[in-house]
Structure 1
């Protein structure tokens, strides 16, 4: 089965913004020191977005961006968690198990007592291997045994395609106001940020009928956490051929002490593992967004083990444990090319872009081209003359639902310098493999 057409508009270009990671809580950096390259995906196949993730991209609504790792103030490394059972697969930490047990005790009404002891189960169970599925499902009403005592609360987790509902928006407003101290949130912004997605729903090729509760399509989903019939938390996730990708998580302010962030991460990891066990051998990771070593509030992602970071230049995966000693010494580093092996190259890559206080850096105002020396990217001026550009396609014309595509080098706009640079920048950041699988559109 062929993938649906992926359409990308390369008009966003390079952008520089203030940063919320390297400043005091609740504030942003005084200068536009956060640098990234952006693109507007009009529609994306699941496979195309998987390839984007594996080159350091990430989406925010229908906008996708890739940090300029060598120049941005706070380098953002793609991080993924191996959720496979056994062997080198996921191992729950003591704090994660504790959070999960505390949540289960709260739902089941077992107070501060150990759940296993109260139910008369054998001692020493805490020393047993971590059973992710049993722990995650222990308090979900649908999975309680017939002989189990009535729980103090009903709890269910429902997975549905991403879409707007008033209770979701109310939860978002509550979360932003009480957790982030931001009261100016609109329904339009909520839809744009957490409901709209360029991903096209596609049937998932399970080898056989999947168990109940697993998604039937790739795409963007809302995972709802419902306590006593009310929405108390919401996870926004993308389900792709190689992973479950965590996009955003929010919870009701009254649940702040329940450590629901850890509960949701374990729930998302279990979803990925269940899909893997249902026959999707390539789906064995939970992508947790970006790991920012210089920002304490973003380093928690490394607490989930075993995690791996994406090399920003070679796009290979490296165990987090081998990366952190390098990140302790260097703001930016390629794990495939450690600084000790290539000091001159590191110095060249890290040359910053000096912010211009007179320049408006809003991505919608104008197009700022990609610098020729950008970590992990081809040189756009070299790309322009590469014969492989003949295999990069764009929309030549569209009449109704009929789209005619052809090589970018054969289009009239190829001779427009700004358009040509936009296309070359897009290829430089996406890479040749992905650029030859998608179609560009203006």
Structure 2
């Protein structure tokens, strides 16, 4: 029974048919199990996402990992140990320059929330696994220009490395074909690629620096030599009177999650929240977050396309990690930031692995594995049992289906009592599939609606 005497209640829809994949666009390659959540406690949802489930609105789905064309692995970042990468630092510096001086960078690739393909919804009870971290709403720009806007969008651009393009030279004074030569001069060294020459020069400079500093004694470690915290990068170089002001506001949003509070929980309580980003009294982005007992889970983000050059996807992800760290001071168990699904088979979705240290969820044992140990396996096969222990199993595997709770005619009862009451019931296979997917613990807490 959940805190406050409330239950989670779901309707299970199965998941045998194939649907269009939003990642590789395979028309029938996407397979997932789904259920409609009429209500959900934060504890039950925490346990479900730790078994590979994910919500899109009130629809909760679980990819059929060994069958779907693009396996989606639940990914979490260790918020307390997170250190921003060079790309993350650049994003924060760009934002701070814009806030302090109004300097807006040119359009460029983003590696935060951006880069995810949109998944189109399909008719029927099995919508495809819409990735929760990103929904592009560039077609609803009028919402942002309304007096009380509440939305935002994401977009990406592509770039080509100059090193990949061979220089082309043309003779503007003659159309004659070049005269045949005598071939390579064996007395001269072979031509070398420019990038190889640059690499060698960098190595030489590094060696010279090491030689120059080898005789200088290393300074003792002090607080000034420690790497900067994420929070320091967020506020770095911001003056007391910046040209622009970025503010944050939070409020509850529609969700199947029941709002809850606990003595050892965060001050704002658990549940689903909109986190608004206001720039000079104008809303520019909105993120939807689920605050759960062990994590902050990013559901999706949308932002105004006029500000895409500020890499708002990356910036808001970093702010959400910092927010997770803030909440952990109030609730010690709340230490992770969930980014939704990591899809290694889709290159545009690999950016989520850059928020490290991070783990992927093993689809067979539901044990978290460091992403560095998972990547080699995923390079070989899109689907992989990530747990390296061959003897490990699912600690919450279904053992007694009869103890699964069902709701029938407004009465809560174990499934065993339901079958005795409903002699000749033919739903045993469906209930067993559902209970296996949610696990024994959740099956004994969540109410499965039976007509």
- Give TM-score scaled by structure 1 length: 0.69
Tell me the residue number matched to 2:39.
Answer: 43
Query: Please, what is the CA RMSD of the aligned residues?
Result: 2.7
**C-alpha spacing 1:16/1:151, structure 2 compared with 1 (3 Å):** same
Tell me the residue number matched to 1:91.
Answer: 83
Pair 1:269-2:285 in alignment: no
Post-superposition Cα deviations, 1:15-52, rounded to whole Å, max 9, x if no partner, equal 42111212xxxxx22x3101011111111100000000
Pair 1:424-2:428 in alignment: no
* Superposition deviation, residue 136 in structure 1: 2.9
Pair 1:107-2:82 in alignment: no
Tell me the residue number matched to 1:82.
Answer: 78
Tell me the residue number matched to 1:411.
Answer: 418
**C-alpha spacing 1:112/1:390, structure 2 compared with 1 (3 Å):** closer
* Superposition deviation, residue 289 in structure 1: 0.3
Tell me the residue number matched to 2:359.
Answer: 308
Tell me the residue number matched to 2:402.
Answer: 390
Judge conservation of contact 2:247–2:279 (CA < 8 Å) in 1. yes
Pair 1:293-2:295 in alignment: no
Tell me the residue number matched to 1:326.
Answer: 377
Post-superposition Cα deviations, 1:223-245, rounded to whole Å, max 9, x if no partner, equal 11110111101111100000000
- How far apart in 1 are the matches of 2:424 and 2:448? 15
* Superposition deviation, residue 204 in structure 1: 3.7
Alignment map for 1:214-225 (pairs within 5 Å) = 216-225=268-277
Pair 1:14-2:16 in alignment: yes
Judge conservation of contact 1:377–1:428 (CA < 8 Å) in 2. no
Judge conservation of contact 2:289–2:296 (CA < 8 Å) in 1. yes
What SS class does the counterpart of residue 60 from structure 2 fall into?
strand
* Superposition deviation, residue 330 in structure 1: 1.1
Q: Which moved more, 1:406-415 or 1:246-255?
A: 406-415
* Superposition deviation, residue 392 in structure 1: 1.4
Tell me the residue number matched to 2:228.
Answer: 130
* Superposition deviation, residue 137 in structure 1: 4.6
- How far apart in 1 are the matches of 2:270 and 2:308? 31
**C-alpha spacing 1:254/1:39, structure 2 compared with 1 (3 Å):** same
What SS class does the counterpart of residue 21 from structure 1 fall into?
coil
Tell me the residue number matched to 1:156.
Answer: 247
- How far apart in 1 are the matches of 2:64 and 2:272? 26
* Superposition deviation, residue 206 in structure 1: 3.2
Judge conservation of contact 1:80–1:287 (CA < 8 Å) in 2. yes
Alignment map for 1:296-375 (pairs within 5 Å) = 296-337=347-388
**Count, aligned residues:** 329
Gapped regions of structure 1 (runs ≥ 5): 23-27, 114-124, 163-195, 343-374, 399-403
- How far apart in 1 are the matches of 2:394 and 2:17? 17
Judge conservation of contact 1:11–1:39 (CA < 8 Å) in 2. yes
Post-superposition Cα deviations, 1:102-125, rounded to whole Å, max 9, x if no partner, equal 101101116489xxxxxxxxxxx9
- How far apart in 2 are the matches of 1:153 and 1:257? 16
Tell me the residue number matched to 1:248.
Answer: 300
Pair 1:197-2:199 in alignment: no
What SS class does the counterpart of residue 32 from structure 1 fall into?
coil
Alignment map for 1:423-442 (pairs within 5 Å) = 423-442=431-450
Asked which structure has the greater CA Rg, the reply is 2
- How far apart in 2 are the matches of 1:15 and 1:158? 41
- How far apart in 2 are the matches of 1:378 and 1:82? 24
Judge conservation of contact 1:3–1:45 (CA < 8 Å) in 2. no
What SS class does the counterpart of residue 255 from structure 2 fall into?
coil
- How far apart in 1 are the matches of 2:17 and 2:95? 42
